Copies of this chain bind each other. A is one copy, B any other.
Amino acid sequence: MRPTVHDIAAEAGVSLATVDRVLNNRPGVRTVTRHKVERAIATLGYVRDVAAANLAKGRSYPLVFILPAGENSFMRGLEAEVRAAMARSAAERTDITILSVPAFDAPALAAALMEARERRPAGVAVVAVEAPEVTEAVKRLREDRIAVVTLVSDLPGSGRDHFAGVDNIAAGRTAGSLMGRFIGGREGAVAVVAGSMLVRDHRDRLEGFRAVMTEDFAGRCILPVIEGQDNPTLVEKLVGALLERQPDLAGIYSLGAGNRGLVAALEKAGREKTICAIAHELTPHSRAALVSGTIDALLNQNAGHEVRSAIRVLKAKADGLPVISAQERIRIDIFLKDNLPLEQA
């Protein structure tokens, strides 16, 4: 049976009050007494009942999510997942605030991080932009012992507690493997459409994609990257022009967002069945394009899993508890039209 503070007191030969002082680092305990209690805790394998403690404390976990604004369907889906978590807040004792910043805007993001800091939350989850001022802001939060989780796009070197996102180099490699094999012996170059080289996830995906195409499909020509700023209108224009320049194009890898534009350009040119298109993130638009065959494979990161993971990690950090690693890894989902998950209402 699970040991309680009463068992610790009996084992150590002290009172409940002393056990409480040791457990909660309150003053007024001699070192020799403290060691006695700590030994009893270790001997009995005592683990605090967090639910009981939270009940006693009336505790909740104030959390801040900092998300990019704009039309990016994936990010809107991510926001919907955060709002769903807000709806569950009474049961989960969370108190979630969303702060929005313009996409790819590092100064605004740094300012939002400082605003979040002023609220003194238990933790902050942020879709990062890799810039010195953002890294500095994250370090400030860490100095204040506010847990920080990067979401979707990481910020190496910032001291953040955890990254809730996929390994984007591996994602790019996966796209490369699928592209190479799906195209098979067919002739033609492959194009790459990115959002912005300012975010780490896009840079990593490109790196992985190029690595595999070079290693395993060395005869295949990779065209220079097109940057569409995750903007469907711009992407449609740029891809449209690409399709005119490249009558023999074999494939397109879209590693960012704005896939509405990609799909529209392919279909407008009547080449949706001849060009192999591999894109990222399952959204209503990309799902429809996968079902219709315009997109051949989608590489996805599960926004719901990422949000739940971020919350779990932030709560665990606030409680000083360990994180279950296996549960917090975000997988790279490969979707064909055959293994699509059920559509969410």
Contacts of A177 in B (CB 8 A): 336-338
Query: Given the interface contacts A55-B49, A304-B326, does A338 sit within 8 Å of B170 by beta carbon?
Result: yes
CB contacts under 8 Å to B, within A277-336, are 299, 304, 308, 326-327, 329, 331-336
Pair A55/B47 contact, Cβ less than 8 Å? no
Instruction: Say yes or no for A32: interface residue by CB 8 A criterion.
Output: no
Is the Cβ of A174 less than 8 Å from the Cβ of B339?
yes
CB closest chain-B residue, reference A302: B331
Q: Check if A339 sits within 8 Å of B171, measured CB to CB.
A: yes
Interface residues on A, range: 35 or more
Contacts of A27 in B (CB 8 A): none
Contact of A17 with B by CB under 8 A: no
Among A139-147, A181-189, A258-266, the stretch in contact with B: A181-189
Interface residues of A in 167-208 (CB under 8 A from B): 170-171, 173-174, 176-178, 181-182, 184-185, 208
A282 to chain B, nearest CB (A): 11
Tell me whether A54 is interfacial, beta carbon within 8 Å: yes
User: In the assembly, what is the distance between CA of A178 and CA of B335, in Å?
Assistant: 11
A42 at interface, CB cutoff 8 A: no
Contact yes or no, A336 B334, CB < 8 A: yes
* B-side contacts of A181, CB under 8 Å: 181-182, 184
CB <8 Å contact, B326 and A344: yes
Please state if A47 and B90 are interface contacts (CB–CB under 8 Å).
yes
With CB as the reference atom, state the residue of chain B lying closest to A183: B184
In the docked arrangement, what's the CA distance between A57 and B158, Å?
A: 45
Given A47-B91, A55-B52, A184-B185, A173 contacting B338 (CB threshold 8 A): yes
Shortest Cβ-Cβ A-B pairs, 10 listed: A51-B51, A184-B184, A173-B338, A334-B334, A332-B339, A174-B338, A174-B339, A2-B90, A177-B336, A177-B338
Knowing that A51-B51, A334-B335 are A-B contacts, what are 15 other residue pairs whose CB atoms are under 8 Å apart, sorted by A's residue number? A51-B52, A51-B54, A52-B55, A55-B55, A170-B340, A173-B339, A177-B336, A184-B184, A212-B338, A304-B327, A329-B342, A333-B333, A333-B334, A334-B334, A334-B339
The chain A residues found within 8 Å of chain B, CB to CB, are: 2, 47, 49, 51-52, 54-55, 90-91, 170-171, 173-174, 176-178, 181-182, 184-185, 208, 212, 299, 304, 308, 326-327, 329, 331-342, 344
List 9 contacting pairs A-B, 8 Å CB cutoff, sorted by A.
A47-B91, A55-B55, A170-B339, A173-B338, A174-B339, A176-B338, A304-B327, A308-B327, A334-B334
